[in-house]
Amino acid sequence: MFNLILFGPPGSGKGTQSEKLISTYGLKHLSTGDLLRSEIASKTDLGLKAKSFMDAGQLVPDAVVIGMVDAAISANKGVNGFLFDGFPRTKAQAEALDALMQSHATEIHVVLALDVPEEELIQRMIGRAKTSGRSDDADPEVQKKRIAVYRNETLAVADHYKMFNKVVHINGLGTIHEIFSSLCKEIDARK
């Protein structure tokens, strides 16, 4: 089983590249946003807990999110591996994920970090707003705040995995195919 985290700020191309990697390597996509929506729609115990926090305007606690990830891993034992997208977002979540993976006799093998300059990220998100219908993508000030949150909170995840020599920086500029080829080269070197 080969497990990776696709990492990068909003607008770095994670969604586009995730789809291609999942298709090429037969990985199971684990997005905590998708897991939350699925668990809530299925009215599972974890989904009902998550909904109660969300309805109160609170963040879903890490323990609930990790429980959902655990359930997803347990339900997909036969896959080639997992691609984590949008998770972990904090060092505490990364540590919890490592412990969870260890309990399943596996690990995170690589963190592929898409590096894109801030101005390019903002332009991509503004462009995405024209086709996605996400009005929040059209506001450069909103984008700057998202990028600041990423820098202040989420970059700690990369620092955590750097301690284990698992982070590889990928140039996020270029064509979709060029970036994908760079990602594949790093995955193939570790499989």
Per the structure block, which two tokens stand in for 178?
Answer: 């060029």
Say which of 20, 51, 89, 91 is annotated catalytic: 89
Say which of 14, 28, 49, 124 is annotated catalytic: 14
Active site residue 37: no
Say which of 28, 49, 124, 146 is annotated catalytic: 146
Say which of 134, 145, 185, 190 is annotated catalytic: 134
Any idea which residues carry the catalytic annotation? 14, 89, 128, 134, 146
